[in-house]
Amino acid sequence: MAQPSPALLDTLDMVFLGTIGLGTIAWFARRQIAEKIFGSKEQDTNEKLNGNGTAPKRERNFVKVMQEQGRKVIFFYGSQTGTAEDYASRLAKECQQKYGVNCMTADIELYDLQYLDTVPEDCLVFFIMATYGEGEPTDNAVDFWELLMEEEPQFSENEDLKNLRYVMFGLGNKTYEHYNEVARKMDQRFSKLGAQRIGERGEGDDDASLEEDFLAWQDNMWPVFCDALGVDETNTANGPRQATFSVEELEGQEDMDQVYLGEIGEKPKEGARIIYDAKRPYNAPITSRDLFQNTDRHCLHIEVDVSDSNLTYQTGDHIAIWPTNNEDEVTRLASMLGLSDKLDVPVMVKAIDSTASKKYPFPVPATYRSIFRHYLDICAPTSRQTLMSLVEYAPTEETKEVLRQLSKDKDEYRLKVGEAVRNLGEVLEFVAGNQAKPGFFNTVPFDLIVESISRLQPRYYSISSSAKESPKKIAVTAVTLTYQPDPTPERTVYGVCTNYLWQLHAAANKVEDGQKYPTYDLAGPRNALQGVKVPVHIRRSQFKLPRNPNVPVIMVGPGTGVAPFRGFVHERAAQKAEGKPVGPTLLFFGCRNSEQDYLYKEEWPGLFETLGEESRMITAFSRETDKKVYVQHRLQENGKEVWELLKKNGTIFVCGDAKNMARDVNQTFVNFAIEFGGLTEEKAHDYVKNLRNSGRYQEDVWS
């Protein structure tokens, strides 16, 4: 081969080095570039708040805000479902009212955490941080996470955080591999940067009792908090409860167009271009069919049409569906609070603290009906702390004592409320007993209800379609959830979103299965959901097929855990049909009975025929044999074949139940490393851990 001339080498070198240089500059300036192209979050927030972008720019320096407002403590929250936000608000209220310390709560994405290095030493910063997915931060904490995890974080003035005193509580689920990963890694990072943690790091386990973990941690945290700030409980008088929100009824409201009736996003300006996202979901048309046969259970395949929106997805992402509370529970709670005759009265609810970072808990003004139906999670079990706050408003000494007992006795609460899954309306009925009648608890102020019940959140589902094959029609696979709690087998608990979806399906397809279900307002606010629509947005996921389709994949997904794998298999079959080389594709699927709940039974043969003889589906039907057989058993039976695929750089995907199935599958792969790889047990565990760390063992699981 002829050698290139020196001049050509110089030119190539210049181009190569120039490319590296430009790439380096782009990396370090990535935030500034993104803001120029897409606009900053700060700008976006300001424009959304004032509608025309003319309001004063929000101050991003939280330390400056604290100093201007005389705050000694700030409670940052990283929240995906609203629980961390709720905990931060509860801590702030106790901090203010019980210990007399001026404080504030803050959504972590609304402030620039580069100023952590300037927090005065006589202040405290709380971090209430949830972990979701594979040890990932919540959506609102991503920017801060990226800043903190940089090799050399760029703070405003200093290279370290020796001035920072902080308190940490993490929310997680022990059934997940990366339990409370965000709080743990943040804690380690802060320590390395010289910050001082006050008290023990708290960790709440949503698989057991997150609420009890939180309350127990608080008991130990407050004394250390008092020592750190030089205060005690006697700093403030034990007077009447101080409201967090003001509530004003607007009975004379003539312009009902300005009243929110359940709309999730702000009302758009006329002619404005609408961008649909988590803050403004898209009302998408849907079609549906029941996948189960010969059984009284239901599993819906739903097609969500996002053609007329900006929404896009990648195979493996999640879709968020915003549910509506059922009318039975709306009626129950309104009746107990004496609001049945006022359900259509508009109310303005806003924070009493004029400097609060969140001035409104939901879109306002809104009617009582829309608040119960769309904005508050009224079907969620009531917390012990809420029950304690209700004691002083109980109408009789007898009901006071029952509430006091439920709030103080952990076992009593667990049996009567926690494990019985009683929501607030049901608890009030239970406490009232034979005395229950409309308005029995009309002494409870509405602001306490708003303060005590979290905001109704969307439910997330693994997308079961391929973006390559179906870019504008998103498939969802959802089992309708109904069950009888062990302590109260005479009661039925209905899953909030899946029963809403089932009622949409039943109404559209004129299905009558003879079972009793709660009723829903299916038309939505101002009939915006008429024609069978649901509000949706997309959440990005790390659960993705290898970039190289030739890489072997091993998928384990029993029940609705097969949902993302339907998308994966469709994607690989489409690639194969295009003539691309596609590696072996193994799918382990399990269900109860091949004639009842074998999901997408009619689709798989054609898909695997397209993929070729190296690919196949292996099934486990647990109720068709004397001894129950699950996917982990089938996986073990095919261990040699699976191990050979791993030796060829294969990737493992697991979706479904985190508590039992995912753990058993993990152990099965450890066993493979011992049996076929000749590793010791310790080395086998390390091998599987390395697969996870390198992205070759991915999970999309739930408890």
As a whole number of angstroms, the distance between CA 227 and CA 225 comes to 5
**Given the residues 139, 305, 664, 702, the one annotated as active site:** 702
**Given the residues 117, 187, 317, 700, the one annotated as active site:** 700
Q: Tell me if residue 462 is catalytic.
A: yes
Cβ(634)–Cβ(590) below 8 Å = yes
Q: What is the DSSP letter of 365?
A: S
Cβ(76)–Cβ(127) below 8 Å = yes
Residue 246 exposed, middle or buried by CB count within 10 Å (0-12, 13-18, 19+): exposed
Contacting residues for 684 by C-beta, under 8 A, at least 6 apart: 670, 671, 673, 674, 677
Q: What is the dihedral of CA 283, 287, 291, 295, to 10 degrees?
A: 90
Give kind and range of the element (H or E) at residue 642.
Answer: helix 639-647
Cβ(658)–Cβ(177) below 8 Å = no
Task: With CA atoms as reference, report the closest residue to 699 among 131, 130, 80, 133.
Answer: 133
**Given the residues 454, 591, 655, 657, the one annotated as active site:** 655
Cβ(170)–Cβ(201) below 8 Å = yes
Q: What is the DSSP letter of 468?
A: T
**Given the residues 462, 465, 466, 615, the one annotated as active site:** 462
Task: With CA atoms as reference, report the closest residue to 419 among 478, 479, 483.
Answer: 483
Q: Tell me if residue 27 is catalytic.
A: no
CB atoms within 10 A of CB 86: 22
At 142, phi and psi to the nearest 5? -60, -45
Contacting residues for 549 by C-beta, under 8 A, at least 6 apart: 572, 575, 580, 581, 582, 583
As a whole number of angstroms, the distance between CA 108 and CA 114 comes to 12
Q: Tell me if residue 700 is catalytic.
A: yes
At 251, phi and psi to the nearest 5? -65, -25
Residues marked as catalytic: 462, 655, 700, 702
